[in-house]
Amino acid sequence: MHESPLCAAVLDAVVHRANGRRVAEITVAVGVAHRAVDVAFQQMFDHMAEDTVADGCVVVLREIPYRFGCAACGQSGELADALPLCPACDEVVRVSGGDEIVLESLTYAGS
Ligand SMILES: [Zn+2]
């Protein structure tokens, strides 16, 4: 499945940071390029996290948009998709980001 390597990377980070504590919930910032669908990611994570400190952990995904900078008009900001057109002047812009994976927070069970 598409989410598998992403999910494995997140789980690795969770297990490492938790250092033996039980994890109840995590928040993960994921670039839109990964197209991590919440339900699919949660199901995959549930499966992979069995018998780890993150067994039964709730996954909250926060999507990070692409960023762009326009050479024509100087506009910069965020784009929800990879269509590389400047919203200000319709010139083709350079798009970056969207491929981040950041484990933003962990909530430990019983805390
Ligand atoms: Zn522009």
pLDDT > 70? residue 1: no
In this structure, the number of other CB atoms found within 10 A of the CB of residue 56 comes to 11
Q: How far is the CA of 31 from the centre of ligand 1 (A)?
A: 23
59, two tokens = 């996954």
Cα of 86 to ligand 1 centre, how many Å? Answer: 5
Ligand 1 centroid vs 80 CA: distance in angstroms?
16
Q: Which of 56, 66, 5 is nearest to 26 (CA)?
A: 56
Distances from the Cα of 53 to the Cαs of 6, 31, 111, in angstroms?
A: 18, 25, 14
CA distance 109 to 24: 5
Q: Which residue has the higher pLDDT, 39 or 81?
A: 39
Provide the pLDDT for residue 2: 52
As residues whose CB is below 5 A from the ion ligand 1, the structure lists: 70, 72-73, 75, 86, 88-89, 91
Cα angle 75, 79, 80 (rounded to 5 degrees) comes to 165
pTM above 0.75, yes or no: yes
pLDDT tens sequence across 28-43: 999 988 888 888 899 9
**Three-class SS of 13-80:** HHHHHHCCCCEEEEEEEEEHHHCCCHHHHHHHHHHHCCCCCCCCCEEEEEEECEEEECCCCCCEEEEC
pLDDT in tens, 43-75: 999 999 999 999 999 999 999 999 999 999 999
- Find the 90 Cα to ligand 1 centroid distance in Å: 6
The mean pLDDT of 11-37, rounded to a whole number, is 93
